[in-house]
Amino acid sequence: MHKCNVLVVGGGLAGLQAAIDAKEAGMDVIVISKLHPIRSHSGAAQGGVNASLANNPAGKDDNAERHAFDTIKGSDYLADQDAVEIMTAAAPGLIYQLEHWGCPFSRSEDGRIAQRPFGGAGFPRTCFGADKTGHYILQTLYEQVVKNNIQILSEWMVVSLIVDEGVCHGVVALDMQTGRLETIEAQAIIMATGGGGRMYGRSSNAFTSTGLGMALAYWAGAPLKDMEFVQFHPTTIIGKNILMTEGCRGEGGHLVNKNKERFMQKYAPSKMELAPRDIVSRSIQTEINEGRGFSDPVSGGFVHLDIRHLGSAKIKERLPGVRDICLDFLGLDPIDEPIPIQPGQHYTMGGIDTNKDAATEVKGLYAAGECACVSVHGANRLGGNSLLETLVFGRRAGQSAAKYVAGLSDRIFTKNTLADAHKRQEFRLNKLCRQSGTKNPYQIRDELNLTLDDKVGIYRTEADMKKALTKVKKLKQQFEKIKPAGTDTRLNYNLIWILELEGNLDVAEVLVKGALARQESRGSHSRLDFTKRDDGNWLKHTIGKSSKEGAVLSYRPAKITKYQPQERKY
């Protein structure tokens, strides 16, 4: 049995930042990850990370307060404003720390960290490393983890949190290589497992980005918050839905329909292609739905992202990854041809409910990054704020967990607590491996993907979402009768994917229930039957708690400090 002060579940940016800060606070830290950390989905983030450095001449008047206002307005006023102010104030210091640790940010001609415009921002404040920013930051943090001798258990997968009387004491995890279940005792657990994008089919997320991390906390008693708010990125390539960074538009790229019109003029005349993502995604989908997009029977239609006018030199310097993706997956060179794109699921604004110190309702359990909801994104995240959130609240999670552990006296539980939890998971996995059901889990997964894509997408209606909820409940029943996963648990990816599917189904239920109940349009949640934002009734967070009957919803007011809600115009 492994034992530590602080266990970090997840090896992406939030997890590594949390581990570094907990270690620096004197804690014994273990990071557990189903991937090697540098393969985490954080590395797929392309465009940049926001901070009010005021390095760009067009942003010389930028500051943390203006960054906070843009974030809150972009959130459609659902973000908790105290948390946003914490994030934007901390941003410059964290960027400079990354620079001092060796992160290779792109530079302006005078040698300072370069900053590009991003959607919904009043100033160019997005720091970047070409179009590989997440990859560069991930490598930088991993170097610090190695430097600090932090133990990493790679290719281990947590299957259960160990909670006794509202206090988290550790986890039961599957060592994927040996197939053995192991128990890890920890005084504090930090969940940093990323988003649940693979509940959807058309997603820019890696196949490892599932709802299991959120589900683990949900099953352990921590509520999920605002799961109905799902971000669709405007520009993913047709067929594979791989991301074309917002940096394409930040560098000056155009969105063009089949009539060769820059159609964003109709929807956001001042910001054009640099309007917030929810607005740009809806605009693209509207063009496709109304016949001004290019038709495609497989992908469902698309428009063009045109960066040809930027020129070969700029594309190769600032957008080399985008060019590589186009060459490899579309067989076209964006220097010479426009890129066929469509909106795709991209980010989970909701997640494990935490306060501004990353703590959940379960004592000793913390969460940070995309799996958490603090909430700094509200109903719509601005591009460049996700990487920032991982750094700011990863740090706060590590520091909060360390402070909690330092204040503990004796652990109030018995070794039987760990042993009993281990036995329950042995029984559960043995059942999944050997049960006599006949249902195909991959058909269940595909039907879940299709249901969310078609019924709980960019545009939503009561009728569609009722059908989606009925379908999700039916799929949960079918899951109880799935085929056996196979008796050899060593590198049994069949078993791993089945465990992830179980998490996706429960989290999807919270998502659909929350979306059906919210009778308004706000940010990414756009209803055709309730087209207006309703601050009188819905300026509040959706809280979903697990019960034997399924998700139970309640609500909590959004925190307003100094920015009163107003109409969003761009």
- The DSSP code sequence of 191-220 is E-----GGGSSSBSS-TT--THHHHHHHHT
Claim to verify: residue 433 and residue 316 sit in the same structural domain? no
- Partners of 527 in the β-ladder: 460
Claim to verify: residue 426 and residue 533 sit in the same structural domain? yes
Amino acid at 122: G
Domain finish residue from 291, 313, 345: 345
- 3-class SS at 349? coil
Three-state helix/strand/coil letters over 96-127: HHHHHCCCCCCECCCCCECEECCCCCCCCCEE
Does residue 396 fall inside a structural domain?
no
Q: Is the peptide bond before 409 cis (omega within 30 degrees of 0)?
A: no
Distance CA 117, CA 540 (A): 30
**233 an active-site residue?**
yes
Claim to verify: residue 420 and residue 304 sit in the same structural domain? no
- Is pLDDT at 414 greater than 70 in this prediction? no
- Is pLDDT at 382 greater than 80 in this prediction? yes
Does residue 562 fall inside a structural domain?
no
Pick the catalytic residue from 233, 277, 541, 568: 233
Q: Quick count: other Cβ atoms within 10 Å of Cβ 62?
A: 22
Confidence category of residue 290, pLDDT binned at 50, 70, 90 = very high
Pick the catalytic residue from 41, 66, 116, 249: 249
Range of the domain at 438: 416-557
Claim to verify: residue 538 and residue 451 sit in the same structural domain? yes
CATH code of the domain covering residue 461? 1.20.58.100
- Contact call for residues 508 and 199 (beta carbons, < 8 A): yes
CATH code of the domain covering residue 331? 3.90.700.10
Claim to verify: residue 424 and residue 553 sit in the same structural domain? yes
Does residue 172 fall inside a structural domain?
no
- Is pLDDT at 16 greater than 90 in this prediction? yes
Claim to verify: residue 425 and residue 519 sit in the same structural domain? yes
Counting the structural domains of the chain, the total is 2
- Is pLDDT at 309 greater than 70 in this prediction? yes
Confidence category of residue 311, pLDDT binned at 50, 70, 90 = very high
- Is pLDDT at 415 greater than 80 in this prediction? no
Domain finish residue from 345, 366, 401: 345
Structure tokens that stand for 322 in this block: 């985008």
Claim to verify: residue 254 and residue 341 sit in the same structural domain? yes
Opening angle at CA 147, ends 144 and 148, nearest 5: 90
Does residue 488 fall inside a structural domain?
yes
Amino acid at 302: F
CA atoms within 13 A on the CB side of 79: 28
Claim to verify: residue 547 and residue 461 sit in the same structural domain? yes
CA atoms within 13 A on the CB side of 451: 25
**135 an active-site residue?**
no
- Contact call for residues 142 and 38 (beta carbons, < 8 A): yes
Does residue 341 fall inside a structural domain?
yes
Domain finish residue from 345, 379, 402: 345
Give the Å distances, CA to CA, from 379 to 121, 313, 553. Answer: 16, 37, 17
For residues 531-554, average pLDDT: 97
Model confidence pLDDT, tens digit, residues 475-516: 999 999 999 999 999 999 999 999 999 999 999 999 999 999
- What pTM did the predictor assign? 0.96
Does residue 108 fall inside a structural domain?
no
What confidence score (pLDDT) does residue 412 get?
59
Does residue 124 fall inside a structural domain?
no
What confidence score (pLDDT) does residue 411 get?
65
What confidence score (pLDDT) does residue 365 get?
98
Claim to verify: residue 431 and residue 529 sit in the same structural domain? yes
Residue percentage of the chain with pLDDT more than 90: 96
Q: Quick count: other Cβ atoms within 10 Å of Cβ 197?
A: 26
Model confidence pLDDT, tens digit, residues 222-268: 999 999 999 999 999 999 999 999 999 999 999 999 999 999 999 99
Claim to verify: residue 547 and residue 420 sit in the same structural domain? yes
Confidence category of residue 410, pLDDT binned at 50, 70, 90 = low
Assign residue 301 a region: left if phi > 0, alpha if psi is -120 to 50, beta otherwise?
A: left
For residues 92-116, average pLDDT: 97
Model confidence pLDDT, tens digit, residues 52-99: 999 999 999 999 999 999 999 999 999 999 999 999 999 999 999 999
On average, the pLDDT of the chain sits at 96
Does residue 256 fall inside a structural domain?
yes
Which has the closest alpha carbon to 228: 196, 268, 201? 196
Model confidence pLDDT, tens digit, residues 517-529: 999 999 999 999 9
Assign residue 209 a region: left if phi > 0, alpha if psi is -120 to 50, beta otherwise?
A: beta
